[in-house]
Structure 1
Amino acid sequence: MGLPIPVRMTVIRLSGGALLLHSPTPFDVRLNDDLEQLGRIEHLIAPNSGHWTFVREWQAHHPDVVTWAVPGLRERRQVRRSGIRLNHDLGASAPDEWREEIEQIIVPGLAGFAEVVLYHKASRTMVLTDLVQNFEPEKLPRLVRPLAHLAGVTGGRAPFYLRTIVKLKGLEAKAAAERLIALGPERIIFSHGQWFEEDGTARLRKSLEWLLD
């Protein structure tokens, strides 16, 4: 709605040197140059129905990049009209390209929502998108702060509307949340707000208590 919202892209370097860009943010030449010093940008991930809009910018600068999408994203009318190229849909298990290094879990919801969660085994780091949000009020416009508080996104949870459409998926969504906890992550990175640098499992359990109970 025209309001500035902090957003984060997460980058994973695979063992072979390839970079995986999860939830790409707007393309920036300087950022791109820095990333290319770390490895080859080979994979883009659109992890849920709201985090795909900047993928095309990265595709334009990396025409050979492979783009992976959450199930159902390519059916959305806005996505079809955008001209974005989606090479593969992500499944319940990770593709061969990162199966040995990253666990992959899909958390389902109603209304076509799903979110792909990645767990990097070696670093014990879990990468979410919107299932946990922890906005820092001082970084939001003053008029937005009360709304963010009411939505519940300043306390390390998903916004109310998202909790609703995931909760209504019932046992399937609860089972996915239990799998996330069972992996025992130390760090939790997500797209909005201050991420959990330590005590990840305990903090994730508290963030998802609305779904686990």
Structure 2
Amino acid sequence: MTTYAPLDVLKPVADGIWIVDSGPLHAVGAIPLPVRMTVMQLEDGGIVLHSPTRYDPSLRETIESLGPIRHIVAPNSAHWSFVKDWKGRVPDALTWAAPGLRQRRQVKKACIPWHGDLGAKSLAHFAPDIDQIEVPGIGGFCEVCFFHRKSQSLVVTDLIQNLEDHHHSSVMRLFSKVIGARDRAPIYLRAVVRLKGEPAKAAARQLVALEPKRVIFSHGQYFEHDAPARLRKSLEWLV
């Protein structure tokens, strides 16, 4: 089973934070990959959708029973495909893009009504409930990680993946082994980030210093136990 059923439903994680498992998406054109959205609540009741998965009307209704959806976040260059669908159904929500994402040709072609880039402008809306940590890479790559203070949860996207052997087919197990996506970023992404040098290393040290209670990410089983130690191990290639 590639995905983490039940799919497209809200699952509580801790106070003020939930996940939505969805997919599978298809990596390299054919490899099925589980994907996850994280839903965070601000102290004023507003909701932040981090790395939105496919739109579902029942899911939206459930989320809106918690509070108004105020922000939709595309945290890196790969996780933006469903932003437009959610924005179309929640027109008052502000849409935020990782730095550099809006300049990509595919993204421009999609004509998504962005509010702005993640940075000081978005932080003014999220603080003091959520901190942002920008992890840069070469070639225009940037992933913005979120730290939800109330739940002490670190939310990343592709910087850590954990495609467990027992949860996947033989093809998927081979794929995860080849790309190295076990408790860390895949090999190609590690190269992209590592080549950025000291700015990337400084961001990694900042993430580790948070010592979160859990680390949630988009692909695979997230870290619910021993999160600080597992986070350090996952980022040892960079720190």
How high is the TM-score relative to the length of structure 2? 0.85
1:125 to 2:149 alignment: no
Structure 1 residue 92, shift from structure 2 partner: 6.1
Structure 1 residue 34, shift from structure 2 partner: 0.9
Contact 1:67-1:87 within 8 A present in 2 as well: yes
Q: How many angstroms apart in 1 are the aligned matches of 2:122 and 2:116? A: 12
1:4 partner SS: strand
Q: For residue 7 of structure 1, what is the aligned residue in structure 2?
A: 35
Structure 1 residue 113, shift from structure 2 partner: 0.4
Letter matched to residue 75 of structure 2: P
Q: How many angstroms apart in 1 are the aligned matches of 2:229 and 2:236? A: 11
Which one has more relative contact order, counting CA pairs under 8 Å at least 6 apart?
A: 1
Bigger strand share: 2
Q: 1:170 to 1:157 in 2, by over 3 A?
A: same
Contact 1:133-1:190 within 8 A present in 2 as well: yes
Counterparts in 2 of 1:100-119, with a 5 A limit? 100-119=128-147
Q: How many angstroms apart in 1 are the aligned matches of 2:120 and 2:229? A: 24
Contact 2:36-2:219 within 8 A present in 1 as well: yes
Q: What are the ranges of 5 or more consecutive residues in structure 2 without an aligned counterpart?
A: 1-28
1:85 to 2:113 alignment: yes
Paired residues, number: 211
Q: 1:158 to 1:81 in 2, by over 3 A?
A: same
Match of 1:66 among 85, 91, 94: 94
Identity percentage of aligned residues = 51
Contact 2:96-2:122 within 8 A present in 1 as well: no
Letter matched to residue 103 of structure 1: D
Counterparts in 2 of 1:13-162, with a 5 A limit? 13-91=41-119, 95-153=123-181, 155-162=182-189
Q: How many angstroms apart in 2 are the aligned matches of 1:93 and 1:182? A: 24
Q: For residue 215 of structure 2, what is the aligned residue in structure 1?
A: 188
Q: What are the ranges of 5 or more consecutive residues in structure 1 without an aligned counterpart?
A: none
Match of 2:191 among 154, 164, 176: 164
* Per-residue CA distance 1:123-154 (angstroms, 9 max, x = gap): 1100000000001234434323212112111x
Letter matched to residue 5 of structure 1: L
* Per-residue CA distance 1:26-78 (angstroms, 9 max, x = gap): 00111111111111111000000000001001011111110011100000000
Give RMSD over aligned pairs: 1.3
Letter matched to residue 206 of structure 1: K
